[in-house]
Structure 1
Amino acid sequence: MPVISSSRLALRAFSVINRPQPNYPGHVPLTFVERGALAVGSAVGSLLNPRRGDLIAALGEATATPYFIYRLRDAMLSSPTGRRILRDRPRITSETLSLPYLRSLPVNSVGRAYAAWLDREGVSPDTRSSVQYIDDEECAYVMQRYRECHDFYHAVTGLPTVVEGELALKAFEFLNTLIPMTGLSLFAVVRLKPTERERFFSLHMPWAVRNGLASEELINVYWEEVLERDVDELRAELGIERPPDLRELRRTMRLQRKREKERQAQEML
């Protein structure tokens, strides 16, 4: 009788109806086929509806393994601050960060900019989904940390949550983190209006490429320790230029359209 190795038995045992024990609370082990189906399904769903955060989160986890999330974990291990974050395992929630305190900080501080951005966009630090589909427990935390820090990236850059702003930030994140989901999200550029698409490729895409390649790894920023720092100083330290003000650009474009309509109406009188 041929001898079957324990590893082959383990592989054979891992099926849809016979899964291994989870590696951490909330972990859902997936077969190779399931992971592929999750990646395709969440990619299509998030393209159809870019505001489905749950689908974007699933796409991020399904495509981050086996290489990319380990690369990001190793980037943290290569940094003294990154190693401290991995050791301390801080979480970013409304319980761990006092929003009233952040709102009381000086106007140009990191914490005040973060709280002001949350208030302006109507979002909360508690909206980030928990990681489920990454098998390695430490790498699952790395993905959770990236996910919870995303709003800090918005606050530091000033990019809003409209599709155009999210795409600009995702392009930046892709070059900074190499997480595939951030690059795949750029397919949503087809949803932009022609004027928005032209603006994205002429202004924000060059900014994202330039800064994503040159800036420090943002995963290694211990945001909880820089809340009182000046946001301009931190941005300069990280090597990030402030992108063109998208809200102001959109406001200017609306005013131009309004004036053009008024001018046309006057000419018809």
Structure 2
Amino acid sequence: MLRLITSAVSRAAPLTVVGASYMAVKSLAAFTSPDAPQESSRSMKPLYQSHRPTTPLQKAFIAAGSALMGFGDPTDGSHIAALGDATANGHMDHLRNQMLKDPVGRRILRERPQISFTHEEWEKLKTLPAGSFGRTYYEQMARNNISWTTRPPVRFVDNEEDAYLLLRYRQCHDFYHVILDLDISVVEELAIKVFEWQQTKLPVALVAGAFGPLRLPPKERSRFFDFYLPWALQCGSSSKPIISVYWEEMWHRPIDDIRKEMGVWLLPQRNKH
């Protein structure tokens, strides 16, 4: 299905896309600006600290604008985050049901942990044994010059618990890179989005997985469809729900043991090059 969607979009007229996108991009800029008013919809008061109330039409413009801007610069996570916010309303039940069926998931819903470190806690991760989840996570973040602080808050979700679920999903994204042994190249980010779609059924993951391959050079696009896509679909559908993993309690554990418990297997290295 992803191959068909990608093929159809690649044949769309560029002028049509540009003409339809102008208002969407303007709307996205208005609502994601740091200077934007906190109460964006007069009919609704904010439900949590970072909430920006918006109408369905405003969400549609934000979703379209963020999708277009994210397509133009897939390395800017703020666009994907805005797309996730604007399309998540009404689509969080799958995640919630996964967590309610799992004792650890229920505990996460009850305790609502958030990924956060003091400087000392962060630096302590690199002292953990080689091959541990925490050490591997630290090394990958350092190698790619990524900070855990860069994940933006949820703003456009009109339900407080749903907002937490989306935030948890977003904050744990870097852990998925570690568990799946995938880097931050465009093709491997797309593979993770397909894996996430199989696990979460969130529209943002489907949109990224379907439209993202358009940016790939022909050789990488073929590699994505031949190797990454089948693996991500199979691994994502058969492994344990990653939203129900209490990652903060996994730092000392061998990463291979966690993979076995989750039913995750890695893409063969020969298919990555």
Given the two structures, how large is their TM-score scaled by the length of structure 2?
0.81
1:202 corresponds to which letter in structure 2?
D
2:144 corresponds to which letter in structure 1?
E
Q: 2:135 aligned with 1:112, yes or no? A: yes
CA distance in 1, matches of 2:115, 2:132: 18
Choose from 204, 209, 213 the match for 2:228: 204
Cα displacement (A) at 1:176: 0.9
Tell me: CA distance 1:104–1:35, structure 2 relative to 1, closer, same or farther (3 Å): same
Q: 2:264 aligned with 1:245, yes or no? A: no
CA distance in 2, matches of 1:226, 1:95: 17
Cα displacement (A) at 1:236: 1.1
Choose from 205, 215, 219 the match for 1:195: 219
Cα displacement (A) at 1:233: 1.1
Q: 2:40 aligned with 1:33, yes or no? A: no
CA distance in 1, matches of 2:219, 2:152: 33
Q: 2:72 aligned with 1:48, yes or no? A: yes
Deviation string, structure 1 residues 217-238 (Cα, Å, up to 9, x no partner): 1000000111111111110110
Cα displacement (A) at 1:98: 1.7
2:267 corresponds to which letter in structure 1?
P
CA distance in 1, matches of 2:269, 2:142: 18
SS of 2:172 mapped into structure 1:
helix
| Contact kept in structure 2, 1:72 and 1:142, CA below 8 Å | yes
CA distance in 1, matches of 2:258, 2:120: 19
Q: Which runs of 5+ in 2 are unaligned?
A: 1-38
Choose from 110, 119, 126 the match for 1:87: 110
Q: 2:256 aligned with 1:232, yes or no? A: yes
CA distance in 1, matches of 2:145, 2:216: 22
- Provide the residue aligned with 2:183 in structure 1: 160
Deviation string, structure 1 residues 141-190 (Cα, Å, up to 9, x no partner): 11000000000000111111110110011111110111110110021101
Choose from 198, 202, 226 the match for 1:175: 198
Cα displacement (A) at 1:244: 3.0
Count of paired positions? 234
2:112 corresponds to which letter in structure 1?
R
* Residue pairs, 1:204-223, within 5 angstroms: 204-223=228-247
Tell me: CA distance 1:17–1:230, structure 2 relative to 1, closer, same or farther (3 Å): closer
CA distance in 2, matches of 1:208, 1:65: 25
| Contact kept in structure 1, 2:41 and 2:54, CA below 8 Å | no
SS of 2:107 mapped into structure 1:
helix
- Provide the residue aligned with 1:7 in structure 2: none
Deviation string, structure 1 residues 58-103 (Cα, Å, up to 9, x no partner): 101111111x213212221221111111111111123398222111
SS of 1:44 mapped into structure 2:
helix
Q: Which runs of 5+ in 1 are unaligned?
A: 1-14, 251-269
Q: 2:16 aligned with 1:24, yes or no? A: no
1:116 corresponds to which letter in structure 2?
E
CA distance in 1, matches of 2:173, 2:120: 15
| Contact kept in structure 1, 2:40 and 2:52, CA below 8 Å | no
Choose from 126, 129, 145 the match for 2:149: 126
Tell me: CA distance 1:30–1:122, structure 2 relative to 1, closer, same or farther (3 Å): same
1:82 corresponds to which letter in structure 2?
G
CA distance in 1, matches of 2:120, 2:208: 29
| Contact kept in structure 2, 1:158 and 1:245, CA below 8 Å | no
| Contact kept in structure 2, 1:102 and 1:112, CA below 8 Å | yes
Choose from 128, 144, 152 the match for 2:167: 144
